[in-house]
Chain A
Amino acid sequence: MLFLLTFSSAEERDLFEYLYQKYKKLCLKKAYEILQDYSLAEDAVSEAYLRVYKNLHKIEDPDSGRTAAFLVTITRNAALTMLSREQKPLEELDEGQEDSFALVDFALSREFVRGAYRLLDQMDEELRHVFLLKFAYDMGNKEIARALNISQNLVGVRLHRAKKKLADLLVKEGFVGA
């Protein structure tokens, strides 16, 4: 039992340190884009990595794009939480410093998928985080609550609003029938 515990700990430690060293600059950049303060951004990354540590089992391939997206999702959420604590309104953010992800850069095969991406990008970021953790990473409400450091009730509220918003937009834009 102790052998297994030690083995598991070493594996976890190695994975965590690898993830940290590999993505810390990216995460710091993403946190800075929101907070505009390196010291606060470092705190946000620290907080985010602690949450990631508790969800290491969600990491299948540390080098995959999905892992990068997972880490950035948690980091940006931690930064947004810190921003709300600092009571800086989101409107202060420079539009140009928002996430630079541009869907049109990717050769997506179906109009529907492109449209759905655009709609997801339109969604409030905090709603999108919960939506992605639920549906892309298959996390339960309790896991999401722990990862984002919010109540399960708030996860439920955000998830419901995200689903409703996306469903409404899909219907409105004619991608699916009502």
Chain B
Amino acid sequence: MPNQNSDDLFRQIASDYVDAWGKSLQEEQKELEQDSALALHPRMDRKVLGQVAARKRRRTAGALGAVAACLALAILLPRASNMGMGSTSQYAASSTEQKAAEIARVPEALPDDQAFALAEPEEDRLDAQALPESTLEKESPAESAPLPEQGNGVIPLPFTLPEHLTILSAEREGEKSVYHLESSSSDPIVLTLESTSRFPDTEGLTPVDIDGQTVYTASRPEEQFLTFQKDGILYEMTCPSDLEALIALSRAILQA
């Protein structure tokens, strides 16, 4: 089936399925509502509503912080430029921005958020970790000479794919190029390439030496994960269970 047609078909099937399943669930839910014998759940109520209230407070405080930051910028920037400081005005502006950012960050230190922070998506935390490296990116060779991209914006593979692997699909997701690879001898692999000088966050990962170069791996209940950086590209790959398959593919990339 062509991709577009199959996606339309999947959409129709999924939508009809959810509608029918939803009706069944509504009936079940009505029966539950009538069943007064069910116990109340004060602990769950406190947990859910309390955590959401804490998040709400944080978001409101964050928004107020952002407003305060904008006001600070609006007040301080004209002053800096009026003083005719030339190149130092740049410093003043960045210093102001830092202060503004600090103001905006203060609400995040509220004790209420600590429990909720555990439920925050990982990418939110990663964003914060990536900040100090933005300076490095400006000076990296990858930044000055961006990699060529294919027509659909996907970064072409800068290595020869091993014979047992074939590309099922390749698509662009944000900054990442995602390749779905099928293997004739092992697990299917999802390989992502991101053009960046950023190195992988190796916390919690296990270093593995491949021909004198280090890659980082993790064995998780649902997937095997491997990541490394080479020539301005951050590689990440996952497969359901066969870490050796990932190591073999990374060897092919590193030797290219």
Binding site for B on A (CB under 8 A): 1-2, 5, 9, 12-13, 16-17, 20, 22-26, 28-29, 42, 45-47, 49-50, 53-54, 64-70, 72, 84-85, 100-103, 105-106, 108, 113, 116-117, 120, 126, 131-132, 134-137, 141-142, 145-146, 149-154, 156-157, 160-161, 163, 166-167, 170, 176
Contact A50 B1 (CB under 8 A): no
- The answer, yes or no, to whether B138 is at the interface (CB within 8 Å) is no
Separation of A20 and B131 alpha carbons in the complex (Å): 36
Pairs A–B under 8 Å by Cβ, sample size 27: A24-B44, A25-B38, A26-B29, A46-B48, A53-B55, A65-B21, A65-B23, A66-B22, A101-B25, A102-B24, A105-B24, A106-B20, A106-B23, A117-B13, A120-B14, A132-B17, A146-B123, A151-B223, A151-B225, A152-B173, A153-B178, A153-B223, A153-B236, A153-B237, A156-B178, A157-B188, A176-B9
Q: Which residues of B contact A16 (CB under 8 A)?
A: 52
Partner of B13, one of A68, A120, A146: A120
Residues of B within 8 A of A28 (CB): 41, 44
B6 touches A142 (CB 8 A): no
Chain B nearest CB from A41 CB (Å) reads: 9
B18 lies within 8 A of A66 (CB): yes
Residues 1-48 (chain B) with a chain A CB within 8 angstroms: 1, 6-7, 9-11, 13-26, 28-29, 32-33, 38, 41, 43-45, 47-48
Asked if B173 contacts A141 (CB within 8 A), the reply is yes
Question: Could you say which of B10, B13, B32, B190 contacts A25, with CB atoms under 8 Å apart?
Answer: B32
Known: A45-B48, A65-B23, A65-B26. A157 touches B190 (CB 8 A): yes
A-B contact number at CB 8 A: 173
Please judge, given known A-B contacts A132-B18, A153-B238, whether A50 and B48 are in contact too, CB under 8 Å. yes
A154-B187 Cα distance, complex, nearest whole Å:
13
Contacts A23-B29, A68-B29, A117-B20 given; indicate if A50 touches B52 (C-beta within 8 A): yes
Out of B119, B180, B237, name the residue touching A47 (CB < 8 Å): B119
Q: Is the CB of B22 within 8 A of A68?
A: yes
CA distance A42 to B61 in the complex (A): 29
Residues of A contacting B180 with CB < 8 Å? 156, 160
B168-187 CB mask vs A (1 if < 8 Å, else 0) is 11000110101010000000
User: Shortest distance in angstroms between A50's beta carbon and chain B's nearest beta carbon?
Assistant: 5
Given known A-B contacts A24-B41, A132-B18, A160-B188, A1 and B67 have beta carbons under 8 A apart: yes
**Chain B min CB distance to A51 (Å):** 8
When the two chains form the complex, which single residue of A26, A103, A161 contacts B20, counting CB atoms closer than 8 Å? A103
Q: Bound complex: CA of A69 vs CA of B14, how far in Å?
A: 11
Instruction: List the interface of chain B (C-beta within 8 A of A).
Output: 1, 6-7, 9-11, 13-26, 28-29, 32-33, 38, 41, 43-45, 47-49, 51-52, 55-56, 59-60, 63, 67, 116, 119, 121, 123, 168-169, 173-174, 176, 178, 180, 188, 190, 192, 221-223, 225, 236-240
Provide the residues of chain A in CB contact with B9, threshold 8 Å.
170, 176
Name the B residues within 8 Å of A156 (CB-CB): 178, 180, 190
B18 contact set on A, CB distance < 8 A: 65-66, 69-70, 132, 136-137
Query: Mostly helix, strand, loop or mixed at chain A's interface?
Result: helix
Instruction: Please name all residues of chain A whose beta carbon is closer than 8 Å to the beta carbon of B221 when the two chains form the complex.
Output: 84-85
Evaluate whether A132 and B14 lie within 8 angstroms (CB atoms) in the complex, with A117-B20, A146-B121, A157-B190 already known: yes
Minimum distance in angstroms from B226 CB to a CB of chain A: 11
By a CB distance below 8 angstroms, the chain B residues around A72 are: 25
Which of A20, A72, A108, A136 has the most chain B CB atoms inside 10 A of its CB? Answer: A136
Interchain CB contact (< 8 A) of A131 among B10, B48, B56, B225:
B10
> Which A residues are CB-close (under 8 A) to B239?
157
Asked if A135 and B13 make an inter-chain contact with CB atoms under 8 angstroms apart, the answer reads yes
Instruction: Check A69/B28 contact, CB under 8 A, given A50-B51, A157-B223, A176-B9.
Output: no
Nearest Cβ on chain A to B194's Cβ, whole angstroms = 12
Instruction: Determine which of B1, B11, B19, B173 lies in contact with A65 in the assembled complex, contact meaning CB atoms within 8 Å.
Output: B19
The closest CB in chain B to the CB of A53 belongs to B52
